[in-house]
Amino acid sequence: MEGLSVEVPEGARLSVGVCDPGSGRSAVYGDDSYDAASVVKVGILAALLLGAQDTDRPLTAAERERAARMIGRSDNDAATALWHGIGGAAGLDAAHRRLGLTATAAGENGYWGLTRTTAGDQLTLLRHVFGHSPVLSPASRAYLARLMGSVVPEQRWGVSVVGPGALKNGWFPRDATGRWVVHSVGRVTGAGGDRLLAVLTEGTVSRAEGVALVESAARAAVRVFAAPA
């Protein structure tokens, strides 16, 4: 993404992707992989929905309750339960392959938050949710989009700085360094219309600094993307 100018704090790194879901045009800055943290919960739910589609069944009441907590409140216990329900790492990897995520690998030993992913792969997943998908059914896409649009107010930071929409954020501090992983992915509506955004960061000294970096990158990416070639 030529022309992207973002002040990245010392010791931190950044990758950002933006897509126009109408035209399909997209651009990505940085191709590094990152631990997904809680943005992987979108993939976990997509895998659950694909499994339900395959057997032509609705989600159970328990699955729906867990899905709502996992996406809406980023509840980790709910995510762990659904992770086991989809078959763990093998199930998530299989779903990601069907969805065309080529650079994402599920976390090992039950650590779903350590799934490795890229901004480009997150854009691919967002296209399935918010655009046409040959894999997810219209009902599955609508369900995912509705839950991402119902995130609790205190977790609506990140890409939503560009405009209202639907999102999922992720964050955690590294045990070894105390530095933070902070991500935000979703669909937003701004002056230029709908945009899909995926912003991944690592290495900020605090969650607040990470959120500020994510929001600065989201604004800059949309601005550069809209500029004439």
What the block records as the tokens of 133 is: 């998908």
Comparing CA positions, the residue from 93, 142, 88 lying closest to residue 121 is 93
- Residue pair 126/16 in contact by the 8 Å Cβ criterion: no
Comparing CA positions, the residue from 20, 198, 52, 209 lying closest to residue 137 is 52
> 103 pLDDT band (50/70/90 cuts)?
very high
DSSP code for 89: H
pLDDT at residue 183 greater than cutoff 70: yes
Question: For a pLDDT cut of 70, what percent of the chain falls above it?
Answer: 99
Q: How far apart are CA 89 and CA 45, in angstroms?
A: 13
Q: How far apart are CA 227 and CA 163, in angstroms?
A: 18
| Per-residue pLDDT at 228 | 66
| Per-residue pLDDT at 229 | 57
pLDDT at residue 20 greater than cutoff 70: yes
For each of the domains in the chain, give its residue range(s) and CATH number, in order of start: 13-226 (3.40.710.10)
Q: What is the largest CA-CA distance in the chain?
A: 50
Q: 3-state class of 202 per DSSP?
A: strand
pTM of the prediction?
A: 0.97
In degrees, to the nearest 5, what angle opens at C-alpha 18 toward C-alphas 22 and 28?
A: 130
Q: How far apart are CA 49 and CA 134, in angstroms?
A: 14
Could you tell me the strand order of the sheet in which 193-204 lies? 26-29, 13-19, 193-204, 180-190, 165-173
> 12 pLDDT band (50/70/90 cuts)?
very high
pLDDT at residue 56 greater than cutoff 90: yes
What average pLDDT does the chain have?
96
CA distance to 52, 117, 209, per residue, from 33 (Å):
29, 5, 20
> 1 pLDDT band (50/70/90 cuts)?
low
| Per-residue pLDDT at 190 | 86
Q: Of all helices (H) and strands (E), which one includes residue 189?
A: strand 180-190
The whole-number average pLDDT for the span 204-223 is 97
Question: For a pLDDT cut of 90, what percent of the chain falls above it?
Answer: 94
| Alpha helices (H) along the chain | 40-54, 61-72, 76-85, 88-99, 119-130, 138-148, 207-226
Residue carrying structure tokens 């897509």: 19
